Protein backbone atom coordinates (compact mmCIF):
# COMPACT_ATOMS: atom_id res chain seq x y z
CA UNK A 1 0.00 0.00 0.00
CA UNK A 2 1.40 3.42 -1.00
CA UNK A 3 1.16 6.61 1.00
CA UNK A 4 -0.60 9.48 -0.72
CA UNK A 5 2.71 11.26 -1.39
CA UNK A 6 4.37 8.13 -2.78
CA UNK A 7 1.39 7.66 -5.08
CA UNK A 8 1.46 11.28 -6.24
CA UNK A 9 5.20 11.13 -6.89
CA UNK A 10 4.89 7.97 -8.98
CA UNK A 11 2.07 9.52 -11.00
CA UNK A 12 3.83 12.84 -11.53
CA UNK A 13 7.04 10.97 -12.37
CA UNK A 14 5.20 9.56 -15.38
CA UNK A 15 3.42 12.79 -16.34
CA UNK A 16 4.79 15.23 -18.91
CA UNK A 17 3.32 18.47 -20.04
CA UNK A 18 1.87 18.23 -23.54
CA UNK A 19 3.20 19.93 -26.66
CA UNK A 20 2.40 23.54 -27.49
CA UNK A 21 -0.19 24.76 -29.97
CA UNK A 22 -1.33 28.16 -31.20
CA UNK A 23 -4.79 29.43 -30.30
CA UNK A 24 -6.61 32.71 -30.92
CA UNK A 25 -6.47 35.06 -27.94
CA UNK A 26 -10.24 34.66 -27.50
CA UNK A 27 -9.62 31.00 -26.54
CA UNK A 28 -6.55 31.51 -24.36
CA UNK A 29 -8.27 31.92 -20.98
CA UNK A 30 -7.30 29.15 -18.53
CA UNK A 31 -4.44 27.90 -20.72
CA UNK A 32 -0.73 28.04 -19.84
CA UNK A 33 1.66 30.17 -21.92
CA UNK A 34 4.25 28.15 -23.84
CA UNK A 35 6.34 31.21 -24.80
CA UNK A 36 7.85 34.29 -23.22
CA UNK A 37 5.99 37.38 -24.37
CA UNK A 38 7.77 40.72 -24.78
CA UNK A 39 6.10 44.07 -25.20
CA UNK A 40 6.15 45.53 -28.71
CA UNK A 41 5.39 49.03 -27.42
CA UNK A 42 5.78 51.43 -24.55
CA UNK A 43 2.62 51.90 -22.53
CA UNK A 44 1.82 54.65 -21.93
CA UNK A 45 3.57 55.73 -25.16
CA UNK A 46 4.42 59.13 -23.62
CA UNK A 47 3.82 60.87 -20.27
CA UNK A 48 0.04 61.18 -19.99
CA UNK A 49 -2.31 62.87 -17.58
CA UNK A 50 -4.02 60.67 -14.99
CA UNK A 51 -6.76 63.30 -14.42
CA UNK A 52 -8.94 65.80 -16.17
CA UNK A 53 -7.36 69.13 -15.12
CA UNK A 54 -4.55 71.56 -15.90
CA UNK A 55 -0.95 70.81 -16.83
CA UNK A 56 1.28 73.36 -15.05
CA UNK A 57 4.81 74.01 -13.78
CA UNK A 58 5.00 72.94 -10.12
CA UNK A 59 7.31 75.88 -9.28
CA UNK A 60 4.55 78.31 -10.43
CA UNK A 61 1.98 77.07 -7.93
CA UNK A 62 4.02 76.46 -4.77
CA UNK A 63 2.08 79.17 -2.90
CA UNK A 64 -1.40 78.23 -4.18
CA UNK A 65 -4.24 77.97 -1.64
CA UNK A 66 -8.04 78.34 -1.57
CA UNK A 67 -7.66 81.80 -0.08
CA UNK A 68 -4.90 82.92 -2.40
CA UNK A 69 -5.11 80.96 -5.63
CA UNK A 70 -2.43 81.27 -8.30
CA UNK A 71 -3.89 82.57 -11.57
CA UNK A 72 -2.43 81.17 -14.81
CA UNK A 73 -3.10 81.87 -18.48
CA UNK A 74 -4.75 78.90 -20.31
CA UNK A 75 -2.82 78.38 -23.58
CA UNK A 76 -4.08 75.01 -24.88
CA UNK A 77 -6.82 72.37 -24.61
CA UNK A 78 -5.36 68.87 -25.01
CA UNK A 79 -7.71 65.96 -25.61
CA UNK A 80 -6.86 62.26 -25.25
CA UNK A 81 -5.28 61.12 -28.52
CA UNK A 82 -4.31 64.66 -29.58
CA UNK A 83 -0.88 66.34 -29.61
CA UNK A 84 -0.21 69.49 -27.51
CA UNK A 85 -0.25 72.64 -29.66
CA UNK A 86 2.36 74.44 -27.54
CA UNK A 87 4.65 74.15 -24.52
CA UNK A 88 3.72 75.42 -21.07
CA UNK A 89 5.83 78.40 -20.03
CA UNK A 90 6.02 80.08 -16.67
CA UNK A 91 2.66 81.64 -15.80
CA UNK A 92 0.79 79.36 -18.20
CA UNK A 93 -1.38 76.21 -17.98
CA UNK A 94 -2.84 73.80 -20.57
CA UNK A 95 -6.26 72.29 -20.03
CA UNK A 96 -5.74 68.52 -20.29
CA UNK A 97 -7.98 65.43 -20.36
CA UNK A 98 -7.23 62.04 -18.79
CA UNK A 99 -4.93 60.07 -21.12
CA UNK A 100 -3.77 63.11 -23.10
CA UNK A 101 -0.01 63.77 -23.53
CA UNK A 102 1.54 66.11 -20.97
CA UNK A 103 2.97 69.12 -22.85
CA UNK A 104 6.65 70.06 -22.60
CA UNK A 105 7.33 72.54 -19.84
CA UNK A 106 4.60 71.19 -17.53
CA UNK A 107 5.69 68.80 -14.79
CA UNK A 108 2.46 68.26 -12.86
CA UNK A 109 -1.30 68.13 -13.37
CA UNK A 110 -3.84 69.78 -11.06
CA UNK A 111 -7.20 68.03 -11.09
CA UNK A 112 -10.14 70.10 -12.23
CA UNK A 113 -11.78 69.89 -8.77
CA UNK A 114 -8.88 71.97 -7.35
CA UNK A 115 -9.29 74.76 -9.88
CA UNK A 116 -11.76 77.34 -11.13
CA UNK A 117 -11.58 78.80 -14.58
CA UNK A 118 -13.05 80.93 -17.28
CA UNK A 119 -12.07 80.69 -20.97
CA UNK A 120 -8.65 82.33 -20.68
CA UNK A 121 -7.56 82.00 -17.08
CA UNK A 122 -7.50 79.34 -14.40
CA UNK A 123 -7.29 79.73 -10.64
CA UNK A 124 -5.20 76.97 -9.01
CA UNK A 125 -6.15 76.30 -5.36
CA UNK A 126 -3.50 73.77 -4.33
CA UNK A 127 0.23 73.21 -4.80
CA UNK A 128 1.47 69.91 -6.25
CA UNK A 129 4.76 68.11 -6.33
CA UNK A 130 6.55 67.45 -9.59
CA UNK A 131 5.11 64.37 -11.34
CA UNK A 132 1.78 64.33 -9.50
CA UNK A 133 -1.10 62.97 -11.61
CA UNK A 134 1.23 62.06 -14.46
CA UNK A 135 1.53 58.49 -15.75
CA UNK A 136 5.08 58.06 -17.00
CA UNK A 137 6.07 56.73 -20.41
CA UNK A 138 6.41 52.94 -20.18
CA UNK A 139 5.30 52.65 -16.54
CA UNK A 140 2.92 49.82 -17.47
CA UNK A 141 4.78 48.14 -20.37
CA UNK A 142 8.31 48.79 -21.67
CA UNK A 143 9.11 48.07 -25.28
CA UNK A 144 11.33 45.00 -25.63
CA UNK A 145 10.87 43.88 -22.02
CA UNK A 146 9.39 40.49 -21.17
CA UNK A 147 5.90 41.05 -19.79
CA UNK A 148 4.69 37.44 -19.40
CA UNK A 149 6.83 34.38 -18.72
CA UNK A 150 6.39 31.00 -20.34
CA UNK A 151 4.46 28.87 -17.83
CA UNK A 152 2.12 31.68 -16.78
CA UNK A 153 -1.52 30.70 -16.39
CA UNK A 154 -3.66 32.96 -18.52
CA UNK A 155 -6.37 34.77 -16.55
CA UNK A 156 -8.37 37.88 -17.50
CA UNK A 157 -5.49 40.29 -16.72
CA UNK A 158 -3.03 38.25 -18.81
CA UNK A 159 -5.56 38.25 -21.68
CA UNK A 160 -5.59 42.06 -21.41
CA UNK A 161 -1.79 42.32 -21.50
CA UNK A 162 -1.63 39.95 -24.49
CA UNK A 163 -4.14 42.15 -26.31
CA UNK A 164 -2.09 45.26 -25.46
CA UNK A 165 1.02 43.76 -27.04
CA UNK A 166 -0.99 42.61 -30.08
CA UNK A 167 -0.77 38.87 -29.50
CA UNK A 168 -3.86 37.88 -31.49
CA UNK A 169 -2.51 34.32 -31.50
CA UNK A 170 -0.92 32.77 -28.45
CA UNK A 171 1.33 29.75 -27.97
CA UNK A 172 -0.10 27.60 -25.17
CA UNK A 173 0.18 24.00 -24.05
CA UNK A 174 -2.35 21.64 -25.56
CA UNK A 175 -5.25 20.52 -23.39
CA UNK A 176 -5.30 16.80 -22.58
CA UNK A 177 -8.12 14.77 -24.11
CA UNK A 178 -9.26 12.28 -21.53
CA UNK A 179 -11.53 9.25 -21.86
CA UNK A 180 -13.88 8.39 -18.99
CA UNK A 181 -15.34 4.94 -18.41
CA UNK A 182 -17.66 3.66 -15.68
CA UNK A 183 -17.91 -0.05 -14.91
CA UNK A 184 -20.55 -2.17 -13.23
CA UNK A 185 -23.45 -4.50 -14.05
CA UNK A 186 -25.66 -2.53 -11.68
CA UNK A 187 -25.12 0.84 -13.39
CA UNK A 188 -27.75 2.72 -15.34
CA UNK A 189 -26.65 5.27 -17.93
CA UNK A 190 -28.12 8.74 -18.16
CA UNK A 191 -29.65 7.86 -21.53
CA UNK A 192 -31.30 4.64 -20.27
CA UNK A 193 -34.87 4.53 -18.91
CA UNK A 194 -35.19 4.80 -15.12
CA UNK A 195 -35.10 1.43 -13.38
CA UNK A 196 -35.37 2.02 -9.65
CA UNK A 197 -33.40 -1.12 -8.83
CA UNK A 198 -30.34 0.10 -10.70
CA UNK A 199 -27.57 2.47 -9.61
CA UNK A 200 -27.32 5.65 -11.65
CA UNK A 201 -23.88 6.31 -13.13
CA UNK A 202 -22.65 9.36 -11.25
CA UNK A 203 -18.90 8.91 -11.67
CA UNK A 204 -18.80 9.51 -15.42
CA UNK A 205 -20.28 12.90 -14.76
CA UNK A 206 -18.43 13.95 -11.59
CA UNK A 207 -15.13 13.06 -13.29
CA UNK A 208 -16.22 14.81 -16.49
CA UNK A 209 -17.04 17.94 -14.50
CA UNK A 210 -13.79 17.80 -12.47
CA UNK A 211 -11.91 17.80 -15.76
CA UNK A 212 -14.02 20.50 -17.41
CA UNK A 213 -13.51 22.73 -14.38
CA UNK A 214 -9.73 22.77 -15.01
CA UNK A 215 -9.89 23.06 -18.79
CA UNK A 216 -9.35 19.41 -19.74
CA UNK A 217 -11.40 17.91 -22.58
CA UNK A 218 -13.40 14.87 -21.41
CA UNK A 219 -14.79 12.18 -23.70
CA UNK A 220 -17.45 9.89 -22.19
CA UNK A 221 -17.13 6.23 -23.18
CA UNK A 222 -20.22 5.14 -21.23
CA UNK A 223 -20.51 2.00 -19.12
CA UNK A 224 -18.63 -1.29 -19.35
CA UNK A 225 -20.21 -4.35 -17.75
CA UNK A 226 -18.36 -6.59 -15.29
CA UNK A 227 -17.07 -9.08 -17.85
CA UNK A 228 -13.62 -9.23 -19.35
CA UNK A 229 -15.10 -8.94 -22.87
CA UNK A 230 -17.13 -5.82 -22.18
CA UNK A 231 -14.28 -4.23 -20.25
CA UNK A 232 -11.73 -5.05 -22.90
CA UNK A 233 -13.85 -3.57 -25.67
CA UNK A 234 -14.47 -0.31 -23.79
CA UNK A 235 -10.97 0.04 -22.33
CA UNK A 236 -9.48 -0.42 -25.80
CA UNK A 237 -11.51 2.59 -26.99
CA UNK A 238 -9.96 4.61 -24.20
CA UNK A 239 -6.36 3.87 -25.14
CA UNK A 240 -6.23 6.47 -27.91
CA UNK A 241 -6.40 9.42 -25.50
CA UNK A 242 -3.87 11.28 -23.37
CA UNK A 243 -5.38 9.67 -20.29
CA UNK A 244 -8.05 7.14 -19.44
CA UNK A 245 -10.03 7.31 -16.21
CA UNK A 246 -11.96 4.19 -15.21
CA UNK A 247 -14.13 3.93 -12.14
CA UNK A 248 -15.35 0.85 -10.27
CA UNK A 249 -14.26 -2.76 -10.58
CA UNK A 250 -10.85 -2.09 -9.07
CA UNK A 251 -11.39 -3.60 -5.63
CA UNK A 252 -11.25 -7.21 -4.40
CA UNK A 253 -14.73 -8.27 -5.60
CA UNK A 254 -15.13 -11.48 -7.56
CA UNK A 255 -16.01 -9.51 -10.70
CA UNK A 256 -13.47 -6.72 -10.37
CA UNK A 257 -11.64 -7.23 -13.66
CA UNK A 258 -10.35 -3.74 -14.37
CA UNK A 259 -6.73 -4.26 -13.33
CA UNK A 260 -6.16 -7.64 -15.05
CA UNK A 261 -7.90 -6.39 -18.19
CA UNK A 262 -5.75 -3.25 -18.31
CA UNK A 263 -2.65 -5.41 -17.82
CA UNK A 264 -3.80 -7.70 -20.64
CA UNK A 265 -4.08 -4.63 -22.88
CA UNK A 266 -0.43 -3.80 -22.25
CA UNK A 267 -0.90 -1.19 -19.54
CA UNK A 268 1.84 -1.38 -16.93
CA UNK A 269 0.21 -1.06 -13.52
CA UNK A 270 2.52 0.86 -11.13
CA UNK A 271 0.57 0.49 -7.91
CA UNK A 272 -2.75 -0.50 -6.45
CA UNK A 273 -4.06 0.77 -3.12
CA UNK A 274 -3.22 4.00 -1.36
CA UNK A 275 -3.47 4.66 2.40
CA UNK A 276 -6.29 7.18 2.14
CA UNK A 277 -9.94 7.18 3.15
CA UNK A 278 -12.15 7.19 1.19
CA UNK A 279 -10.61 5.68 -1.90
CA UNK A 280 -7.91 3.21 -0.98
CA UNK A 281 -8.32 0.72 -3.92
CA UNK A 282 -7.09 3.39 -6.37
CA UNK A 283 -4.70 2.08 -9.06
CA UNK A 284 -2.43 3.76 -11.58
CA UNK A 285 -0.83 2.53 -14.78
CA UNK A 286 0.80 3.77 -17.95
CA UNK A 287 0.99 2.68 -21.58
CA UNK A 288 2.68 4.28 -24.55
CA UNK A 289 1.67 7.97 -24.33
CA UNK A 290 -1.21 7.31 -21.93
CA UNK A 291 -1.85 7.55 -18.21
CA UNK A 292 -4.50 5.26 -16.74
CA UNK A 293 -6.25 6.08 -13.49
CA UNK A 294 -8.48 3.39 -11.97
CA UNK A 295 -10.75 5.03 -9.41
CA UNK A 296 -12.82 3.18 -6.82
CA UNK A 297 -16.54 2.97 -7.62
CA UNK A 298 -18.05 4.76 -4.66
CA UNK A 299 -18.87 8.26 -5.84
CA UNK A 300 -17.12 10.13 -3.01
CA UNK A 301 -14.08 7.86 -3.22
CA UNK A 302 -13.78 8.41 -6.94
CA UNK A 303 -14.04 12.19 -6.51
CA UNK A 304 -11.49 12.27 -3.69
CA UNK A 305 -9.05 10.18 -5.77
CA UNK A 306 -9.70 12.44 -8.73
CA UNK A 307 -8.83 15.47 -6.58
CA UNK A 308 -5.65 13.93 -5.13
CA UNK A 309 -4.26 12.07 -8.14
CA UNK A 310 -5.93 13.00 -11.42
CA UNK A 311 -6.10 16.79 -11.04
CA UNK A 312 -2.37 17.31 -10.26
CA UNK A 313 -1.42 15.13 -13.26
CA UNK A 314 -3.82 16.98 -15.56
CA UNK A 315 -2.50 20.34 -14.34
CA UNK A 316 1.03 19.21 -15.14
CA UNK A 317 -0.06 18.11 -18.65
CA UNK A 318 -1.62 21.54 -19.12
CA UNK A 319 1.77 23.08 -18.33
CA UNK A 320 0.75 24.58 -14.97
CA UNK A 321 3.28 24.91 -12.15
CA UNK A 322 0.75 24.97 -9.31
CA UNK A 323 -0.47 21.39 -9.34
CA UNK A 324 -2.27 20.97 -6.04
CA UNK A 325 -5.47 22.37 -4.60
CA UNK A 326 -4.94 25.16 -2.11
CA UNK A 327 -5.01 24.30 1.58
CA UNK A 328 -6.11 26.68 4.35
CA UNK A 329 -5.91 26.60 8.13
CA UNK A 330 -9.14 26.32 10.10
CA UNK A 331 -10.36 25.40 13.55
CA UNK A 332 -12.68 22.47 14.23
CA UNK A 333 -16.21 23.58 15.17
CA UNK A 334 -17.03 20.20 16.73
CA UNK A 335 -15.42 16.99 18.03
CA UNK A 336 -14.56 14.64 15.17
CA UNK A 337 -13.92 10.92 15.66
CA UNK A 338 -11.93 8.90 13.17
CA UNK A 339 -10.38 5.48 12.58
CA UNK A 340 -6.58 5.25 12.71
CA UNK A 341 -4.38 4.00 9.92
CA UNK A 342 -5.17 6.06 6.82
CA UNK A 343 -5.20 9.72 6.05
CA UNK A 344 -8.86 10.73 5.93
CA UNK A 345 -10.36 13.40 3.66
CA UNK A 346 -13.50 14.54 5.48
CA UNK A 347 -16.03 16.73 3.72
CA UNK A 348 -16.42 20.01 5.62
CA UNK A 349 -18.19 23.33 5.40
CA UNK A 350 -16.02 26.39 6.13
CA UNK A 351 -17.37 29.42 7.94
CA UNK A 352 -15.66 32.70 8.70
CA UNK A 353 -15.53 33.50 12.44
CA UNK A 354 -13.74 36.21 14.43
CA UNK A 355 -10.80 33.87 14.98
CA UNK A 356 -10.53 32.85 11.30
CA UNK A 357 -12.08 29.94 9.42
CA UNK A 358 -13.96 27.20 11.28
CA UNK A 359 -14.65 23.77 9.79
CA UNK A 360 -17.83 21.75 10.40
CA UNK A 361 -18.62 18.29 8.95
CA UNK A 362 -20.76 18.52 5.81
CA UNK A 363 -23.12 15.75 6.92
CA UNK A 364 -22.68 12.00 6.83
CA UNK A 365 -19.21 10.88 5.69
CA UNK A 366 -20.04 7.58 3.93
CA UNK A 367 -18.13 7.08 0.69
CA UNK A 368 -21.38 6.60 -1.22
CA UNK A 369 -22.95 9.82 0.05
CA UNK A 370 -22.29 12.22 -2.79
CA UNK A 371 -24.46 14.84 -1.08
CA UNK A 372 -21.58 15.35 1.40
CA UNK A 373 -19.52 16.63 -1.54
CA UNK A 374 -22.39 18.83 -2.69
CA UNK A 375 -22.51 20.48 0.73
CA UNK A 376 -18.75 20.74 1.26
CA UNK A 377 -16.38 23.67 0.79
CA UNK A 378 -13.32 21.52 1.25
CA UNK A 379 -11.72 18.30 2.40
CA UNK A 380 -10.41 18.30 5.96
CA UNK A 381 -7.13 16.39 5.98
CA UNK A 382 -7.20 14.14 9.04
CA UNK A 383 -3.73 12.66 9.66
CA UNK A 384 -3.45 8.86 9.65
CA UNK A 385 -2.52 8.53 13.34
CA UNK A 386 -5.47 10.56 14.63
CA UNK A 387 -8.47 9.02 16.37
CA UNK A 388 -10.12 12.06 17.89
CA UNK A 389 -9.95 15.69 17.04
CA UNK A 390 -11.56 17.92 19.65
CA UNK A 391 -13.52 21.07 19.00
CA UNK A 392 -11.08 23.99 18.69
CA UNK A 393 -8.21 21.93 17.24
CA UNK A 394 -6.38 23.61 14.37
CA UNK A 395 -6.79 21.62 11.14
CA UNK A 396 -5.91 21.93 7.47
CA UNK A 397 -8.59 21.95 4.78
CA UNK A 398 -8.03 21.41 1.08
CA UNK A 399 -10.36 23.69 -0.84
CA UNK A 400 -12.75 22.41 -3.50
CA UNK A 401 -12.89 24.25 -6.80
CA UNK A 402 -15.93 26.47 -6.22
CA UNK A 403 -14.70 27.96 -2.92
CA UNK A 404 -13.31 31.31 -4.12
CA UNK A 405 -16.88 32.63 -3.98
CA UNK A 406 -19.10 33.66 -1.07
CA UNK A 407 -22.75 34.63 -0.60
CA UNK A 408 -22.19 37.94 1.18
CA UNK A 409 -20.51 40.85 -0.64
CA UNK A 410 -18.09 41.12 2.32
CA UNK A 411 -18.10 44.92 2.23
CA UNK A 412 -20.49 47.52 3.62
CA UNK A 413 -21.64 50.73 1.94
CA UNK A 414 -19.04 52.55 4.06
CA UNK A 415 -16.31 50.26 2.76
CA UNK A 416 -15.96 48.29 6.02
CA UNK A 417 -15.14 44.59 5.69
CA UNK A 418 -15.78 43.33 9.21
CA UNK A 419 -12.10 42.30 9.52
CA UNK A 420 -10.93 45.72 10.75
Residues engaged in binding ligand AMP (CB under 6 A) = 182, 184, 186-187, 199, 201-204, 247-251, 253, 296-299
Q: Measured from the CB atom, is 198 or 270 closer to ligand AMP?
A: 198
The window from 52-60, 244-252, 387-395, 398-406 that contacts Mg ion (CB under 5 A) reads 244-252
As measured in angstroms, the least distance from the Cβ of 178 to ligand AMP is 16
Query: 358 to 377, contacts with Mg ion by CB under 5 A?
Result: none
The window from 23-31, 70-78, 180-188, 301-309 that contacts Mg ion (CB under 5 A) reads 180-188
The window from 77-85, 128-136, 183-191, 274-282 that contacts Mg ion (CB under 5 A) reads 183-191
DSSP-derived 3-state class of residue 53: strand
Among 101, 184, 279, 378, binds Mg ion (CB under 5 A): 184
Q: Measured from the CB atom, is 52 or 186 closer to ligand AMP?
A: 186
Query: 118 to 157, contacts with Mg ion by CB under 5 A?
Result: none
Does 248 bind Mg ion (CB under 5 A)? Our answer is yes
As measured in angstroms, the least distance from the Cβ of 368 to Mg ion is 12
Q: Measured from the CB atom, is 15 or 247 closer to ligand AMP?
A: 247
- From Mg ion, ligand AMP, none, interface partner of 64 (C-beta below 5 to 8 A by class): none
As measured in angstroms, the least distance from the Cβ of 247 to Mg ion is 9
Q: Measured from the CB atom, is 127 or 281 closer to Mg ion?
A: 281
Reduced 3-state DSSP string for the chain = CECHHHHHHHHHHCCCCCCEEEEEHHHCCCCEECCCEECCCCECCCCEECCCEEEECHHHHCCCCCCCCEEEEEEEEECCCCCCCCCCCCCEEEEECCCCECCCCCCEEEEHHHEEECCCEEEECCCCCCCCCEECCCCCECCCCEEECCCCECCHHHHHHHHHCCCCEEEEECCCEEEEEEECCCEECCCCCCCCCCEECCHHHHHHHHHHHCCCEEEEEEEECCCHHHHHHHHHHHCCCCEEEEECCCCCCCCCCHHHHHHHCCCEEEEECECEECCCCCEEEEECCEEEEEECCCHHHHHHHHHHHHHHHHHHHCCCCCCCCCEEEEEECCCEECCCCCEEEEEEEEEEECCEEEEEECCCCCCCCCHHHHHCCEEEEECCCCCEECCCCEEEEEECCCCCCCCCCCCCCCCCCCCC
The window from 24-32, 112-120, 182-190, 195-203 that contacts Mg ion (CB under 5 A) reads 182-190
Q: Measured from the CB atom, is 8 or 203 closer to ligand AMP?
A: 203
Query: 268 to 297, contacts with Mg ion by CB under 5 A?
Result: 297
Q: Measured from the CB atom, is 255 or 360 closer to Mg ion?
A: 255
Q: Measured from the CB atom, is 49 or 302 closer to ligand AMP?
A: 302
As measured in angstroms, the least distance from the Cβ of 250 to ligand AMP is 6
Which residues contact Mg ion by CB under 5 A?
A: 184, 248-249, 297
Amino acid sequence: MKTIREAQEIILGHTRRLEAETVPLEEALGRVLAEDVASNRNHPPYDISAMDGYAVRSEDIESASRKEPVVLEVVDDIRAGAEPACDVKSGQASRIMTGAPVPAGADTVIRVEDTDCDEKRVKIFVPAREGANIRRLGENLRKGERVLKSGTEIGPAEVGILAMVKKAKVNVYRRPRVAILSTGDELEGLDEPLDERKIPDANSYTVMAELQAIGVEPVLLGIARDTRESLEEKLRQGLGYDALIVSGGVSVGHHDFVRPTLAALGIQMHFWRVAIRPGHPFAFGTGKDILVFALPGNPVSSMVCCEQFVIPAMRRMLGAKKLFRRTVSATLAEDVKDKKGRIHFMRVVLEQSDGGLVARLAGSQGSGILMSMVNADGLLIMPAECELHCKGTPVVVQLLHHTPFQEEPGITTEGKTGHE
